[in-house]
Structure 1
């Protein structure tokens, strides 16, 4: 059972449990230095001396590992001067604490040792050696912890990648199960189009746009991993046209891109999903605040940006759907750290999505 004083303080007990291996290590280490070395040398020091020295020894150990190396190696370019400077400063601080403790505190109270300690060159040399001793231990501890953190990060990335593969496989299987005789569906739509084009041109145009989009979505599962961005743009324009037909061409939306971006390659259904997200959650009725879609090609990246006024029912954080999550997972799986997607609501209640893919 834990000590009552610790168990009554959940935070303190949690901290103690999370650092139990530190306590075990220092207990074993101090036992070794005091008992084994004391027996070997044939003498032991006063308790106050042990308490004081191990407090500052452990202090410089963690100071070096958690402060000096952490911030000194934060930027490799400046590390060449930061680490030596921090090392000198912590050593000076260590010696200064020893000097003040022995020259002022112990001289009048003798809480460290009953003997008078001579403050001379040997005193400082011994303190310097002790400081370097624990600095070396602190350095080893820092790199050991860093190694385990990096290994844990790598394991998490591998697990996330495996999870994405499983989810993609599940999505593909679900699509295949739902794909019942797609050619029959397309032939039926073509039949309806042929019969509607003379009597209802708007309905016929809607059927064509819908048919092309469904055929593209179905065929994308059997194509290579990447498609031409021009094909994605064509389907996005079909989607826009379809919604405009349904709403009598009253929707306020702008689509900007240069023809040179059409030759770029991208994973399928990214742009189409972003555009569909606009129609699902966006308010496209205001002439002065149209939705915007832009594709920008730079020397080092390809950027897809959307911006739209949010519908009133979604302004209080009630947005739903899996489109954005799906895009994020697919980009992460395919491009890794070379792709970044950011979504946010600006001060004017516009929902923005920025996708950047490094070349």
Structure 2
């Protein structure tokens, strides 16, 4: 072992001793009380080896009971009633057997001349049973104390987190209020342009109107709305489609299927419109023989949203994965196991998305 290894080992031991200094101090006081004070009153002391052997057993019993027996016995509430008595009984048996073995070694292999004799009667077994129960009781109290301190620490951490969340919410609300000034100005400007262009350039005015509606919806959806009606999302998808149709002179090949009844279903905002935006950004939507499709339907009390589109020959996947992963995280946070979200590229170079949400 090199000098560096020895130094590292020494530092680890020193760190462990400092970490356990309270335990060491308490055990030192306890052993001093029992070995010295009781010895003075009784008028008899044992050899140092005897103290080391039996107190090592008692200390090991204490920590084994607190960290192993109590932990596994109380892990499942439905099994506590039989596990705890069984584990304690087994622990007592093992303690007694170890005590007998240590007594045998002490009597036959050391110069011990004390009062202990290997006579297997009630008096012989009474002492180790008492000592085992004595340390197990202390260990049980220690176990519940540790749990209490751990739960209190969790509560304190949750309270700190709650306060931090309140502070962050307050900061976010302040930033949001400041950010409202610019959108408000933008919407007023777009409305002014729309009013002046609708007579002279109806196509441009229609594009401006669709764009303004979509932007207003996007801003409103970032407020405290957790759920919205699909009706709102469908309207904005139609605005988005209309905007792109105007840009491409109505050559966009996109079919949008849904029943009017589905408009009253509630969903988290900006899911459907994000999926459609990805289709326009990354898909080939100008081929009449391969039209893209968006379908919304309810089957078996589940909302199903499916999209499919031919992939562009020149791929531009920037932002595709991040947008879809963002949807997946939002769905998982809100719906948990009640939502399934999958997307694949099939052998025909179609990109297909399937979202299923279990309705309440």
TM-score normalised to structure 1 length = 0.67
Residues 88, 254 of structure 1: alpha-carbon distance in 2 compared, 3 angstrom cutoff: farther
- Equivalent residue, structure 2, for 1:122: 123
Distance 1:177 1:107, change over 3 A: same
Structure 1 unmatched ranges of 5 or more = none
Superposed CA deviations along residues 129-186 of structure 1, whole A, max 9, x for unmatched, are: 1011111111101111101111111111111111111111111111222222644422
Unaligned runs of 5+ in 2: 346-350
Distance in 2 between residues matched to 1:126 and 1:257, nearest whole Å: 82
Work out whether residues 339 and 355 of structure 1, in 8 Å CA contact, stay in contact via their aligned partners in 2.
no
Shift of 1:77: 0.8
**Following the alignment from structure 1 to structure 2, what is the Cα–Cα distance between the partners of residues 227 and 21?**
50
Task: Report the CA distance between 1:25 and its aligned residue.
Answer: 1.6
Kindly tell me: are residues 286 and 41 of structure 1, through their superposed partners in 2, closer, same or farther at Cα, counting changes over 3 Å? Answer: farther
1:50-89 → structure 2 map (5 Å cutoff) = 50-89=51-90
Q: What's the secondary structure of 1:272's corresponding residue?
A: coil
Tell me the residue number matched to 1:230. 229
Per mean C-alpha deviation after superposition, the further-off stretch among 186-195 and 82-91 is 186-195
Q: 1:24 to 1:313 in 2, by over 3 A?
A: farther
Contact map agreement 1:294 1:305 (CA 8 A) in 2: yes
Q: Which residue number in structure 2 is paired with residue 151 of structure 1? A: 152
Cα RMSD for the two superposed structures: 5.3
> Which residue of the partner structure matches residue 272 of structure 1?
270
Contact 2:229-2:265 within 8 A present in 1 as well: yes
| C-alpha distance in structure 2 between counterparts of 1:21 and 1:307, whole Å | 64
Larger Rg: 2
Call closer, same or farther: CA 1:275–1:51 in 2, change over 3 Å: farther
User: How do 1:75-224 residues align onto structure 2 when only pairs under 5 Å count?
Assistant: 75-103=76-104, 105-110=105-110, 113-115=112-114, 117-120=117-120, 121-180=122-181, 182-194=183-195, 195=197, 199=201, 201=203, 207-216=208-217, 218-219=219-220
User: What CA distance in whole angstroms lies between the structure 1 residues aligned with 2:265 and 2:79?
Assistant: 42
Deviation at 1:108, TM superposition (A): 3.5
* Matching residue of 1:242: 240
Partners of 1:298 and 1:149 in 2: CA distance: 45
Structure 2 CA distance for aligned equivalents of residues 355 and 262 of structure 1: 17
- Cα distance in 2 for partners of 1:43, 1:255 equals 95
State the shift of 1:96 in Å: 1.4
2:48 corresponds to which residue? 47
The CA deviation string for residues 285-340 of structure 1, in whole angstroms up to 9 with x for no partner, is 4999x9999999999xx99999999x86689xx969x978x969xx7xxx9xx979
Normalised to the residue count of structure 2, the TM-score between the two structures is 0.67
Q: Does structure 2 retain, via aligned residues, the 8 Å contact 1:99–1:119?
A: no
- What is the CA distance between 1:11 and its match in structure 2? 3.6
253-262 or 145-154, which moves further after superposition? 253-262
Tell me the distance in 1 between the aligned counterparts of 2:227 and 2:129: 66
